[in-house]
């Protein structure tokens, strides 16, 4: 009996690996092109850290005219959830991060290097496992889970390193005949890698992000094919990233310590290993303690959170790029209108330790992103959000023409307003502009310097009787408010007021505040001239009436 016969006994139908080498030819890309992937498991929760990895991968591929593909790693079928793949595909779609290749729905894919779902690649893994057996670098192991547990217990009580290695790797020393015998007798088995490593030797490798890292060599005979015939992560990674011609494995740094296994596998099977870029997790400051963003504790860990909150995907991406490359922020300031794809993203410049997640900063970026949109875009996007998450807002936005006027206030110029950071803020931001909301609700009127009933009544009455003209331009409009201030005995200019504080009770700004509060119930709004234009005369009259009626 030789290795080849043993291999044939185990995988009689597996194709020679040449078949796959031929089928998945090296890619014809320009020098330096990065081929990389996002390889999530469909376990039902797309984590913001996953999106971050995917974004880093996409930007790396785009910058080098490479390829970004989506591979679904579903070999752990116990952990799989319903709609897991659909959720992943849709999350990427929501963020406008569709892959060049790979899964495009639960069942469909595009690209020539598929299948891109691991559970559909069983034959391929078995072909490569067969090849390893033929080389004498893998073998069937008949130990039951109970026996493996037994070994672990013995190691524990003897205080030695746990695992299936060296003298503990019982089955690696069976003769080929003994192996064949057991197989023929129907004994159950898995396939293990025969590690040539020694724990007392070190390996060094250069991670694209972490720099030079040193580890002890792997000496564990890790499982490559499980009892269900599917591969473990380690083996699938090696086979897939080889056949899909991945140049860079960009993944979470929880895999960093597995690199010795992976490099050894690549080496033993005789393939060139890809480069590795291990990304640090996004951290959270929890009362002074730095910890990973947690699926259980932090709603913002789930990618779905951003959609529900209506934080524009563009803002999330810009924020993540900002974490990835600290030079992004200045680039964005200097190039507010460029596409992020023009940013010179650099994988080498990612920070080695985990960045702190900063919601304030993200929302600030949201404000900038939204401020660059047209009124029409803001209308469309907030309507889409509202239809799913806020019926009342959707109802308000039904009047498109009026909504566009509201969103158009202080927009389009070179200093657009920056008061909306996410779609869930839109309602609160514009609700006072709707008569059916404003006039029918009890309002708070936070009057400031001028706050007595008599003065306010007089200002509102005089303004409508003598000063308001809907055809005024902005200058005339403001001059009228000054004139009104003068008539009331207040300073017409703030400067004048400051020079003679004892002479006046208030100034033109305080009169404006009375008008603003009466109109909107707020002290802080965008440009009041524009607001009055949008509201129109009839509404202004009603609002002043209401304000007077509600004076205490
Ligand atoms: N399925 C693995 C995970 O979700 C992928 C790691 C990798 O990118 O290779 O952690």
**pLDDT tens figures, 455-488:** 999 999 999 999 999 999 999 999 999 999 999 9
Mark whether 527 and 460 lie in a shared domain.
yes
Q: How far is the CA of 61 from the centre of ligand 1 (A)?
A: 18
Mark whether 143 and 188 lie in a shared domain.
yes
Mark whether 272 and 187 lie in a shared domain.
yes
- CB 122 within 8 Å of CB 78: no
Q: How far is the CA of 252 from the centre of ligand 1 (A)?
A: 7
Q: Is residue 138 part of a domain?
A: yes
pLDDT in tens, 267-289: 999 999 999 999 999 999 888 88
Burial of 367 (0-12, 13-18, 19+ CB in 10 A): middle
The pair of three-digit structure tokens given for residue 34, joined into one six-digit string: 């990065």
User: What are residue 68's DSSP bridge partners?
Assistant: 36
Which ligand 1 atom sits nearest the alpha carbon of residue 251?
8
Q: Is residue 364 part of a domain?
A: no
Q: Is residue 30 part of a domain?
A: no
Total domains in the fold of the chain: 3
Mark whether 429 and 474 lie in a shared domain.
no
Burial of 29 (0-12, 13-18, 19+ CB in 10 A): middle
CATH number of the domain where residue 510 is located: 1.10.10.350
Residue nearest to atom 5 of ligand 1 (CA): 39
**Beta strand 283-286 pairing with 289-292:** antiparallel
Q: Give the C-alpha distances (Å, rounded to integers) separating 2 from 129, 157, 199, 305, 410.
A: 16, 38, 29, 57, 81
Residue nearest to atom 2 of ligand 1 (CA): 40
Residues 6+ apart with CB under 8 A from 176: 1, 2, 3, 5, 6
Q: Give the C-alpha distances (Å, rounded to integers) separating 518 from 17, 143, 396.
A: 79, 81, 22
Mark whether 184 and 230 lie in a shared domain.
yes
C-beta atoms surrounding 87 within 10 Å: 20
Write out residues in the chain with pLDDT < 70, as ranges.
none
Answer yes or no: is the C-beta of 41 below 6 A from any ligand 1 atom. yes
Residue numbers of the domain that contains 261: 3-15+122-279
Q: Is residue 310 part of a domain?
A: no
- Dump the DSSP string for 362-399: HHHHHHHHHHTS-HHHHHHHHHHHHHHH-HHHHHHTT-
- In the numeric block, the tokens 């390893």 are attached to 132
Mark whether 140 and 268 lie in a shared domain.
yes
The pair of three-digit structure tokens given for residue 193, joined into one six-digit string: 């890698």
Q: Is residue 489 part of a domain?
A: yes
Mark whether 140 and 273 lie in a shared domain.
yes
Give the end of a domain, one of 225, 257, 279: 279
How far apart are the C-alpha atoms of 218 and 207, rounded to whole Å?
A: 17
Give the end of a domain, one of 212, 244, 279: 279
Q: How far is the CA of 104 from the centre of ligand 1 (A)?
A: 18
Mark whether 130 and 274 lie in a shared domain.
yes
pLDDT in tens, 398-455: 999 999 999 999 998 888 899 999 999 999 999 999 999 999 999 999 999 999 999 9
Q: Is residue 39 part of a domain?
A: no
Mark whether 413 and 468 lie in a shared domain.
no
Q: Is residue 82 part of a domain?
A: no
pLDDT recorded at residue 412: 81
- Dump the DSSP string for 188-204: --EEEE-----TTSEEE
Most ligand 1 atoms within 8 A of CB, residue of 58, 230, 240, 255 to mutate: 255
Mark whether 426 and 481 lie in a shared domain.
no
- The dihedral over CA atoms of 257, 259, 265, 266, expressed in degrees to the nearest 10, equals 180
pLDDT recorded at residue 542: 98
Mark whether 132 and 255 lie in a shared domain.
yes
Answer yes or no: is the C-beta of 493 below 6 A from any ligand 1 atom. no
pLDDT recorded at residue 420: 96
Q: How far is the CA of 32 from the centre of ligand 1 (A)?
A: 24
- CB 299 within 8 Å of CB 271: no
The pair of three-digit structure tokens given for residue 23, joined into one six-digit string: 């089928």
- In the numeric block, the tokens 């790797």 are attached to 169
**Beta strand 67-70 pairing with 101-103:** parallel
Q: Give the C-alpha distances (Å, rounded to integers) separating 271 from 20, 35, 194, 268, 465.
A: 13, 16, 17, 8, 87
Q: Is residue 36 part of a domain?
A: no
Is 295 in the active site?
yes
Mark whether 247 and 191 lie in a shared domain.
yes
**Beta strand 190-193 pairing with 223-225:** antiparallel
């Amino acid at each position: 009996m030789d290795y080849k016969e043993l291999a044939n006994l185990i995988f009689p139908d597996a194709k020679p690996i040449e078949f796959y080498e031929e089928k998945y030819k090296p890619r014809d890309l320009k020098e330096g092109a990065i081929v990389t992937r996002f390889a999530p498991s469909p376990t039902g929760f797309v984590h913001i850290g996953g999106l971050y990895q995917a974004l880093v991968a996409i930007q790396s591929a785009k910058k080098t005219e490479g390829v970004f593909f989506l591979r679904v790693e579903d070999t752990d079928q116990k952990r799989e959830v319903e709609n897991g793949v659909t959720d992943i595909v849709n999350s990427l779609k929501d963020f406008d991060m569709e892959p060049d290749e790979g899964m495009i729905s639960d069942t469909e894919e595009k690209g020539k290097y598929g299948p891109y779902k691991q559970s559909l690649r069983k034959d391929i893994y078995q072909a490569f496992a067969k090849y390893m057996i033929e080389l004498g670098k893998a073998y069937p192991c008949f130990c039951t889970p109970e026996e493996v547990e037994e070994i672990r217990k013995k190691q524990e009580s003897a205080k030695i390193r746990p695992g299936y290695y060296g003298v503990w790797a019982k089955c690696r020393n069976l003769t080929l005949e003994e192996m064949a015998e057991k197989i023929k007798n129907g004994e159950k088995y898995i396939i293990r890698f025969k590690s040539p490593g020694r724990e007392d030797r070190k390996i060094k490798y250069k991670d694209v992000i972490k720099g030079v890292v040193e580890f002890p060599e792997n000496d564990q005979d890790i499982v490559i094919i499980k009892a269900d015939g599917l591969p473990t992560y380690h083996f699938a990674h090696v086979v897939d990233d080889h056949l899909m011609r991945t140049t860079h494995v960009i993944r979470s740094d929880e895999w960093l310590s597995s690199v010795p296994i992976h490099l050894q596998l690549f080496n033993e099977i005789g393939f060139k290993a890809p480069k590795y870029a291990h990304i640090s997790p996004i951290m959270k400051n929890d009362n002074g303690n730095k910890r990973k963003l947690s699926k259980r504790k932090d709603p913002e860990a789930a990618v779905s959170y951003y959609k529900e909150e209506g934080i524009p995907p563009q803002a999330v991406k810009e924020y993540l790029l900002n974490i990835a490359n600290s030079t992004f922020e200045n680039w964005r300031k200097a190039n507010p209108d460029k596409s992020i794809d023009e940013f010179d993203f650099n994988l080498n410049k990612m920070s080695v330790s985990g960045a702190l997640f900063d919601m304030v900063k993200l929302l600030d970026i949201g404000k900038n992103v939204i401020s660059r949109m047209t009124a029409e875009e803001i209308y469309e996007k907030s309507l889409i959000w509202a239809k799913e998450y806020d019926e009342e807002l959707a109802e308000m936005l039904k009047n498109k023409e009026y909504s566009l006027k509201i969103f158009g206030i202080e927009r389009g110029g070179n200093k657009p307003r920056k008061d909306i950071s996410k779609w869930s803020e839109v309602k609160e931001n514009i609700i006072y502009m709707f008569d059916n909301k404003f006039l029918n609700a009890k309002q708070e009127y936070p009057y400031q310097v001028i706050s007595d009933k008599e003065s306010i009544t007089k200002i509102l009455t005089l303004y409508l009787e003598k000063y308001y003209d809907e055809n005024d331009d902005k200058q005339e409009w403001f001059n009228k408010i000054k004139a009104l201030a003068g008539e009331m005995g207040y300073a017409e200019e703030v400067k004048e007021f400051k020079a003679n504080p004892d002479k006046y009770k208030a100034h033109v700004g305080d009169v404006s505040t009375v008008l603003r509060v009466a109109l909107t119930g707020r002290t802080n709004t965008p440009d009041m001239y524009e607001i009055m234009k949008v509201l129109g005369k009839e509404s202004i009259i009603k609002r002043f009436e209401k304000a007077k009626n509600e004076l205490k």
